[in-house]
Amino acid sequence: MTTPIATSLRDLIEGGPPPAGRFGPYGGRYVPETLMEILIELERRSVELLADEGFLAELAGELRDFVGRPTPLTAAGSLGEAWGVALFLKREDLCHTGAHKINNAVGQALIARRLGAKRIVAETGAGQHGVATAAAAARVGLPCTIFMGAVDARRQAPNLERMRLLGAEVRLVEAGDQTLRAAIDEAFRAWVADPVGTYYLLGSVVGPHPYPWLVRRLQTVIGEEAREQVVRAGGLPDVAVACVGGGSNSIGLFRGFLADEGVELLGIEAGGRGGEGDPHSASLARGTTGVLHGAMTPLLQDAHGQIVETHSIAPGLDYPGVGPEHALLRDLGRARYESVTDREALEALRECSAAEGILPALESAHALAGAKRWAGRNRGGRVVVGLSGRGDKDLAVLADGAHHV
């Protein structure tokens, strides 16, 4: 008998784990046999815990008292006036540790403790997931090891030090491309070596099932809050915009508006430098379907299935794949995906900083650049942008590398 899979918008709106972990042709579990039972048990226990009133009360308390939720929805009057739209920023940059990553990290850390894990391992690119995991692990009293590419460590030195101050062991990855993909590879290896005692706290809606669903479930709080807040401020938006690397902040925002047919969902990928043949990270726009890190999804790969060089000025977007739910949303036509260049993101970052007194992360600046482009075509519209993180972490990049763009 064929196992059913999530193939329609109704399937996605229902919100439970997709049957067999499949979002249409995407997703699934492509992992060593040693991990299969671990993942099946993680799905079973996660479904139980996320329906348990006691666990949900504990999670809600941590989100309120430790993370600082709800985060505000800030009306960006000056920037909106310049763009000719009513502009609202969902302020995940105001979460504890400075980005949306902490929503997922706290939730999974609580699950890890309930599962009896002895330690946590995680990967990080921009460093925000690493910082969030280190903080969450400390909060629940578990040791953690963070794998970070050597290139990203140089680009994000402040976050490297923050992780260490929060008690994490940070292992720099010198192999491969020395960025997020290589860090995930090493975290997977550590997990496979001790799948029972180790909990892998994956940071985005990628990887084998149930991670794309589990991370989405923990990030849905973004969209739920944003919808309530923007309706209170005058009505539903015309568009919700967020940056897309692996895609957790964007899927979290989009989930709040998924059932609202009149709200466009716009994801913004990293277009890199923008020249013909230049490396980029636009997996949805220019990728082909393959398997990476345990899931089938659009990838940036060559004709032989080898991952090609990627690039983004934003470390958190520098990844050759994307969450499988995004791929299905694209195929169904419910979400649309564009890319912006490094230069466009930098311009949007500077414009937002000067106009609103808010320094966004380079990742979030991609979403702002995409929103500005949308505004140019839709004067008078209402726009919600997911401001996924703050830009303090990017000051070295802005000072030393931006002039090369």
349 vs 396, more confident: 349
- pLDDT tier for residue 73 given thresholds of 50, 70 and 90: very high
Class of domain 23-63+101-211: alpha beta
Judged by average pLDDT, the poorest of 28-42, 151-165, 248-262, 297-311 is 151-165
> 388 catalytic, yes or no?
yes
Pick 352 or 156 by higher pLDDT: 352
Contacts of 38 by beta carbon, 8 Å cutoff, 6+ apart: 195, 196
> Same fold for the domain at 23-63+101-211 and the one at 64-99+221-404?
yes
Q: Which of these is catalytic: 123, 264, 269, 356?
A: 123
Q: Please say whether the beta carbons of 131 and 98 come within 8 A.
A: yes
pLDDT at 146 over 50: yes
The mean pLDDT value for 82-111 works out to 98
Predicted TM-score of the model (pTM): 0.95
In this predicted structure, the answer to whether residue 168 has a pLDDT above a threshold of 50 is yes
pLDDT in tens, 100-131: 999 999 999 999 999 999 999 999 887 899 99
Which residue is catalytic, options 250, 281, 312, 388? Answer: 388
Would you list the domain boundaries of the chain? 23-63+101-211, 64-99+221-404
In sequence order, which residues have a C-beta less than 8 Å from that of residue 170 and are 6 or more positions away? 130, 145, 146, 147, 148, 153, 160, 163, 164
- Close Cβ partners of 369 (under 8 Å, ≥ 6 residues apart): 268, 340, 344, 345, 347, 348
Confidence of residue 2 (pLDDT cuts 50, 70, 90): very low
Candidates 90, 101, 372, 393; catalytic one: 101
**Is residue 123 annotated as part of the catalytic site, yes or no?**
yes
- Is pLDDT at 1 greater than 90 in this prediction? no
Is 204 among the residues known to form the active site?
no
Q: Which CATH class is domain 64-99+221-404?
A: alpha beta
